[in-house]
Amino acid sequence: MKKDLEKIKKSALSAIDMVATPNALQDVRVQFLGRKGELTRLLKGLKDLDGEKRKAVGQAANFVKEEIEAALSARESALEKARFDAIAKEEWIDVTAPGSSCETGSVHLVTQTINKIVDIFASIGFSRVAAPEVEWDYYAFEALNMPKEHPARDDWETFFIDEGVSKKYGKQVLTPHTSNAQVRILEEHDVPLKVVNIGRVYRRQADASHVPMFHQVEGFCVGDNITIADLKGTVEYFLHSFFGQDRKIRYRPYDFRFTEPSFEIDIDCDVCSGTGDNCRVCKAGWVELAGAGLTHPHVLKAGGVDPDKYSAFAFGFGVERIAMMKGVSIPDMRMLYQNDLRFLKQF
Q: Would residue 41 count as lying in a domain?
A: yes
Do 68 and 127 share a domain, yes or no?
Answer: no
Residues 6 or more apart whose CB falls under 8 angstroms from that of 117 comprise 196, 198, 217, 238, 242, 317, 319, 322
Q: Which residues contact 281 (CB under 8 A, 6 or more apart)?
A: 208, 209, 269, 271, 272, 287, 324, 331, 332
Q: Does residue 104 form part of some domain?
A: no
For residue 317, give the nearest of 201, 226, 185 by alpha carbon.
201
pLDDT in tens, 266-288: 998 887 877 878 787 777 888 88
Query: Across residues 305-309, what is the average pLDDT?
Result: 93
| Cα angle, residue 249 at apex, residues 246 and 252 outer, rounded to 5° | 170
SS3 content of the chain, % helix, strand, coil (to 5): 45, 20, 35
Output phi, psi for 221, to 5 deg: -130, 125
Q: Under a CB-based contact definition with an 8 Å cutoff, are residues 324 and 337 in contact?
A: no
pLDDT tier for residue 152 given thresholds of 50, 70 and 90: low
According to the model, what pLDDT value does residue 153 have?
60
Q: Is the residue at 100 inside a domain?
A: no
Q: Is residue 186 part of a domain?
A: yes
**Is the peptide bond prior to 192 cis by the omega test (within 30 degrees of 0)?**
yes
- Is residue 96 included in any domain, yes or no? no
Do 152 and 24 belong to one domain?
no
Considering the domain architecture, whether residues 86 and 117 belong to the same structural domain is answered as no
Q: What is the CATH number of the domain that holds 222?
A: 3.30.930.10
The residue among 229 and 150 whose pLDDT is bigger is 229
pLDDT mean across residues, the chain: 85
Rank 28-42, 123-137, 165-179, 203-217 by mean pLDDT and report only the highest: 123-137
Q: Are residues 125 and 51 in the same domain?
A: no
Please, what's the largest Cα pairwise distance for the chain? 119
Q: CA dist 316 to 181, 199, 258, Å? A: 11, 11, 12
CA distances from 209 to 157, 214, 282 (A): 16, 11, 8
Question: Where does the pLDDT of residue 154 fall: very low under 50, low under 70, confident under 90, or very high at 90 and above?
Answer: low
Domain extent for 252:
109-344
**Residues written for the chain:** 347
